[in-house]
Structure 1
């Protein structure tokens, strides 16, 4: 990532190292992976100089911090997160009918959802992972009107998520599984990174009638006492 940003700006290792207060050999070690966890001060110095040459995108800036390991490494399992979903949280899903609503973790595994969510995304509850559903379940192409756009967004999101995660065993296993699909490999090779939707509109097709409709997608981080910061509330408001 650092080499790409440096090459895009035609900045040498020597120039970048001097500006950031480190040696050119240290930059080489960072780019080769020999220095996995630089300090926050070093990352800030690198970003400051690169940003001065040509502004970094917010996703690029955040991705550098994530890759440096400046994050919380722990992540509970799907089962642990599901066990912590209270009855009140489950009841809130029913209140939002007929709008699709669900609790998902920040790795986009479905924890619990209402009937409208299960109907809008057939097979997703069984697949658990939205990434597995996109590339391994043909039903996703049947109901996602802009399948390629939405699938590419999830792949870009996965790249950013892997940077956040200190324990990448889960990511290696998932990448090995998804790598069996040509479309995933092509989208992964494109190299994009994102941390959210640029706009909320999502187009779907009713699996029974075939009619198209739009959802205004909202995503809220849940103040979840047992595992704070790992659960999100998904709400799709039908238009």
Structure 2
């Protein structure tokens, strides 16, 4: 039988989760003594006692990694348990994972879900606007984007974007301003330097970036031109952050519901900078 967490409280008292409470439960579930866990992690048994008692809520990343490594050897932790330990220790993931790592987070069920959204446009993106996975409707709506791999690279480096986006300048500026907000949300902004260096090669990007605007979402539909039929239609776009097990908040879900286009929409030529 699994042990009860020390966070459970007694009677009607319910306590918030703590690093020490979770560590003790995971240790008890594996029937490991404090002494054995401490020795394996390279710390003293009294230190483990203090951790479990809540006297030391913020162990170092090296200590938490060592504790997890030994617990894993006895019985592997679930991804959620591993993440929760780091979160409770105040050691949430700070480094930005690469595209291959994030693509590996997109499960077969998630990909199957994208297909179920057809004919609506659906895809998973990271918070640097890289395409992780998408359905056929997404690929057809934004020709060349999957090959370019990054939305901003497509906007500024692919001539098709100006033909597809009826109001290209507004959409490009919105995405640039949103990127600024996403960079700030990440906490560590160093990862963005390489991407900004690449995008800085495009004069239109530099102009939009220099405007210094920041947004955190959108409140207008996206107006699209079908290059095969020259038909204009709208996408009511919704964006959701995905609470991924290993990289929480690093993945976004894009859903575009196709609707008819208004009789008059702003165009690239009529939209002011």
Task: Say yes or no: TM over 0.5.
Answer: yes
Gaps of 5+ in 2: 1-91, 260-273
Between the aligned partners of 2:165 and 2:133, the Cα distance in structure 1 is 21
Out of 225, 231, 235, the position equivalent to 2:245 is 225
What's the CA shift for 1:168? Answer: 3.6
Between the aligned partners of 2:254 and 2:194, the Cα distance in structure 1 is 26
Mapping of 1:98-177 within 5 angstroms? 98-177=119-198
Out of 96, 101, 124, the position equivalent to 1:75 is 96
Between the aligned partners of 2:255 and 2:156, the Cα distance in structure 1 is 23
What's the CA shift for 1:195? Answer: 1.3
Out of 140, 164, 182, the position equivalent to 2:203 is 182
Gaps of 5+ in 1: 1-70
RMSD between aligned residues? 1.6
CA contact (8 A) 2:96 2:191 kept: no
**Matched position secondary structure for 1:209:** coil
CA contact (8 A) 1:157 1:193 kept: yes
Between the aligned partners of 2:225 and 2:125, the Cα distance in structure 1 is 22
What's the CA shift for 1:176? Answer: 1.5
Between the aligned partners of 1:128 and 1:99, the Cα distance in structure 2 is 20
Structure with more contact order per residue of length (Cα contacts < 8 Å, sep ≥ 6):
1
What's the CA shift for 1:162? Answer: 2.6
Out of 202, 208, 214, the position equivalent to 2:228 is 208
What's the CA shift for 1:221? Answer: 1.8
Between the aligned partners of 1:180 and 1:88, the Cα distance in structure 2 is 38
Between the aligned partners of 1:165 and 1:237, the Cα distance in structure 2 is 28
Between the aligned partners of 1:233 and 1:204, the Cα distance in structure 2 is 19
**Matched position secondary structure for 2:217:** coil
**Matched position secondary structure for 1:230:** strand
Between the aligned partners of 1:132 and 1:218, the Cα distance in structure 2 is 21
CA contact (8 A) 1:200 1:216 kept: yes
Change (3 A) 1:158 1:223: closer
Between the aligned partners of 1:87 and 1:218, the Cα distance in structure 2 is 22
User: Aligned residue for 1:5?
Assistant: none
Equivalent residue pairs, number: 168
What's the CA shift for 1:114? Answer: 0.4
Larger Rg: 2
Mapping of 1:43-58 within 5 angstroms? none
Give deviations 1:203-238, integer Å, cap 9, x for gaps.
Answer: 000021111000110112223222221112111000
Between the aligned partners of 1:167 and 1:220, the Cα distance in structure 2 is 21
What's the CA shift for 1:72? Answer: 6.0
User: Aligned residue for 2:257?
Assistant: 237
What's the CA shift for 1:124? Answer: 0.9
Between the aligned partners of 1:170 and 1:125, the Cα distance in structure 2 is 22
Mapping of 1:83-94 within 5 angstroms? 83-94=104-115
What's the CA shift for 1:91? Answer: 0.3
